[in-house]
């Protein structure tokens, strides 16, 4: 009886690859993150509790998580539209527009923060037109959302763009030929295809926004209880040599963001499973 042919693997066997993966995750991810928790417990529990539940820190939690969620949702909508235009239309300067999407990846965050602040202050290029309308962006929570949207938008565009490029346009034509209007084509044909990619882009944009520092501190104004983000308070604690307090705040952020990302990833896997079954 002949044995079934086993296709050779391009990479080394399972155990060498698995061992390298565990080693990489341990050195780069697990050990540094474990050090955060271990350092935070070097102080007394009463001190740690006072630090992570102080009114100023709680206000920073609300701003960081709230602004990140809002910026992530805005990035999903705008990122989908940008990806749609780049995939479905031909126009002069398309290559330049496609390259500009990645600009926030290469631009130093401090430079982005200074540029956004210059644009949206009351005497800035855009702020001077918004101020008469009663819209103040710089040094407000709205400015934080603008900065986080700026750095999170490319994640959504790059997640959705290849999915739209691979989507079969004949499905849309078939739905239209059967009498579906534009909204029905989008809701029943296009959106189910791009939904997993949108969730992935949202998760990436949200995670990136939570840890953002450089592009936010300039446009936020850093007013206590109003526009202070949590990463700024962590840096402040480090400057005060309160390492246990800084790592305690970081541990709270780490735990909360991990649980949120875990829920988003579970929703994404469930969506992909339903699409496969369908």
The string over 21-39, giving b where at least 16 C-beta atoms fall within 10 Å of a residue's C-beta and e elsewhere, is eeeeeeeeeeeeeeebeeb
Q: Read off the pLDDT of residues 99-141 as tens digits, 9 standing for 90 and up.
A: 999 998 888 888 999 999 999 998 999 999 998 999 999 999 9
For 77, phi then psi, to 5°, come to: -70, -50
Q: Read off the pLDDT of residues 163-214 as tens digits, 9 standing for 90 and up.
A: 999 887 788 888 888 888 888 888 888 888 899 899 999 999 999 999 899 8
Q: What is the pLDDT of residue 9?
A: 62
Contacts of 219 (CB under 8 A, 6+ apart): 113, 116, 117, 120, 137, 138, 139, 143, 144, 146, 147
Instruction: Count CB neighbours of 87 within 10 A.
Output: 16
Q: What is the pLDDT of residue 1?
A: 47
Q: Read off the pLDDT of residues 84-100 as tens digits, 9 standing for 90 and up.
A: 999 999 999 999 999 99
Within the chain, strands assigned E span none
* 190 in Cβ contact with 167 (< 8 Å): yes
Span 40-58, mean pLDDT? Answer: 88
- Residue with more model confidence, 170 or 83: 83
Q: What is the pLDDT of residue 7?
A: 59
The band of 274, judged by pLDDT with boundaries at 50, 70 and 90, is: low
Q: What is the CATH number of domain 44-277?
A: 1.10.3720.10
Does position 260 have pLDDT exceeding 90, yes or no? Answer: no
- Cα-atom radius of gyration of the chain, to the nearest Å? 23
64-68: long-range pairs with CB below 8 Å, 24+: 64/210, 64/229, 64/230, 64/231, 64/253, 65/210, 65/256, 66/141, 67/141, 67/144, 67/145, 67/148, 67/209, 67/229, 68/148, 68/206, 68/209, 68/210
Q: Read off the pLDDT of residues 218-248 as tens digits, 9 standing for 90 and up.
A: 999 899 899 999 999 999 999 998 899 999 9
* 155 in Cβ contact with 207 (< 8 Å): no
- Every domain of the chain and the residues it spans: 14-42, 44-277
Q: What is the pLDDT of residue 276?
A: 63
Rounded CA-CA distance 102/183 in Å is: 30
* 249 in Cβ contact with 237 (< 8 Å): yes
Rounded CA-CA distance 46/31 in Å is: 26
Pick from 108, 95, 206: which is nearest to 156 by CA?
A: 206
Tell me the CA distances in angstroms from 259 to 20, 64, 203, 255, 265, one per residue in order. 26, 15, 12, 6, 10
Rounded CA-CA distance 173/167 in Å is: 12
Instruction: Count CB neighbours of 137 within 10 A.
Output: 24
Does position 4 have pLDDT exceeding 80, yes or no? Answer: no
Q: What is the pLDDT of residue 173?
A: 81
Q: What is the pLDDT of residue 60?
A: 95
Q: What is the pLDDT of residue 70?
A: 97
Tell me the CA distances in angstroms from 80 to 174, 193, 223, one per residue in order. 22, 12, 34
């Amino acid at each position: 009886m002949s044995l079934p042919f086993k296709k050779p693997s391009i990479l080394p066997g399972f155990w060498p690859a698995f061992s390298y993966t565990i080693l990489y995750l341990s050195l780069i991810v697990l050990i540094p993150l474990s050090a955060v928790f271990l350092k935070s417990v070097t102080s007394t529990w009463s001190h740690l509790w006072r630090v992570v539940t102080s009114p100023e820190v709680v206000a920073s939690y609300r701003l960081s998580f709230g602004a990140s969620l809002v910026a992530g949702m805005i990035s999903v909508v705008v990122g989908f539209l940008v990806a749609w235009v780049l995939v479905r239309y031909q126009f002069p300067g398309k290559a330049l527009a496609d390259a500009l999407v990645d600009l926030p990846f290469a631009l130093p965050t401090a430079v982005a923060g200074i540029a956004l602040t210059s644009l949206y202050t009351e005497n800035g290029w855009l702020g001077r037109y918004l101020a008469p309308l009663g819209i103040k962006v710089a040094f407000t929570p709205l400015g934080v959302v603008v900065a986080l949207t700026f750095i999170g938008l490319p994640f959504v565009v790059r997640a959705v763009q290849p999915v739209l490029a691979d989507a079969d346009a004949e499905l849309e034509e078939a739905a239209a030929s059967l009498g579906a209007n534009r909204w029905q084509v989008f809701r029943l044909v296009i959106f189910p295809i791009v939904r997993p990619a949108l969730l992935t882009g949202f998760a990436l944009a949200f995670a990136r926004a939570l840890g953002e520092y450089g592009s936010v501190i300039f446009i936020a104004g850093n007013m206590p209880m109003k526009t202070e983000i949590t990463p700024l308070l962590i840096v402040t604690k480090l400057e005060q040599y309160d390492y246990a307090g800084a790592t305690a705040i970081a541990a709270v952020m780490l735990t909360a963001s991990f649980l949120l990302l875990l829920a988003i990833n579970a929703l994404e896997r469930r969506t992909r499973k339903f699409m496969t079954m369908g």
